[in-house]
Amino acid sequence: MKGIPFLAIVLLACAFPAHAQGAMKKDAAVKPADPEVKVVLDSWNEIGRKLTAMAEDFPEDKYDFKPTPAQRSFAEQLLHAAGSNYLFTDTVMGRKPPAGEDPKRDQYKTKADIVAFVKKSFADGSAAILSHGEKGMMTEFVYFPHQKSRVLDIANGIIEHGGEHYGQLVVYYRLAGLVPPESRPKK
């Protein structure tokens, strides 16, 4: 019986601070959603950061590593992902998109060449997003023959495509006995 009053005091003491914190949270202003252009740009830059980190980190002597002969090499994966960015960038900047999204490995002979191409493709995409601004996110372009798409939709599709290749490159890292940069403990 002596334990019950003590337990009641502990419960009351714990309940009041929690109640006070809950009241403070209810009075706090809700932050508005970020503008679409910021959300798209942040996502674009984040997948660009991840792919660039991989391009810079992966050993150059393993750049031609393929899990199986039928698959793209590590370098070809990066070139494909970065090259595909120009399907977005060139379209929304009013230029003719590249005929294919796979730049050839013999055009980019070194790791430094590929890293520079990956960085440039994401920088060019960021510039294209910024050039359209918030209102321009809904501008329509003919993206594939006979199909109109908005800047927002095209950008999101290419961001998702970059994410797919990021996931594939994580597997390349693991098969090569390496740990991807994003999976390493933070310092």
Range from 14-23, 34-43, 67-76 carrying the lowest mean pLDDT: 14-23
Distance between CA 85 and CA 107 in Å, rounded? Answer: 17
Whether 99 and 165 have beta carbons less than 8 Å apart is answered as no
Per-residue pLDDT, 18: 53
pLDDT tens, position by position, 131-152: 999 999 999 998 877 889 999 9
Per-residue pLDDT, 119: 98
Q: Is the pLDDT of residue 166 over 90?
A: yes
For the segment 121-127, the average pLDDT, to the nearest whole number, is 97
Whether 134 and 37 have beta carbons less than 8 Å apart is answered as yes
What sign for the dihedral angle of Cα 92, 93, 95, 100? negative
As a whole number, the mean pLDDT across the chain is: 88
Answer whether residue 20 is part of any domain: no
Answer whether residue 151 is part of any domain: yes
Question: Which of 84, 83, 87 minimizes the C-alpha distance to 96?
Answer: 87
Percentages of the chain per state (helix, strand, coil), in multiples of 5: 65, 5, 30
What sign for the dihedral angle of Cα 131, 158, 54, 93? negative
Number of domains present in the structure of the chain? 1
| CATH number assigned to the domain comprising residue 118 | 1.20.120.450
Q: Is the pLDDT of residue 8 over 80?
A: no
DSSP class of residue 161 equals H
Place 98 in a pLDDT band, splitting at 50, 70 and 90: confident
What sign for the dihedral angle of Cα 22, 24, 29, 33? negative
Question: What pTM value is reported for the model?
Answer: 0.82
Distance between CA 137 and CA 155 in Å, rounded? Answer: 9
For the segment 85-92, the average pLDDT, to the nearest whole number, is 93
Q: 69 lies in which domain range?
A: 35-181
Which H or E run contains 40? helix 36-57
Per-residue pLDDT, 28: 85
Token duo for residue 37: 């252009």
Answer whether residue 164 is part of any domain: yes
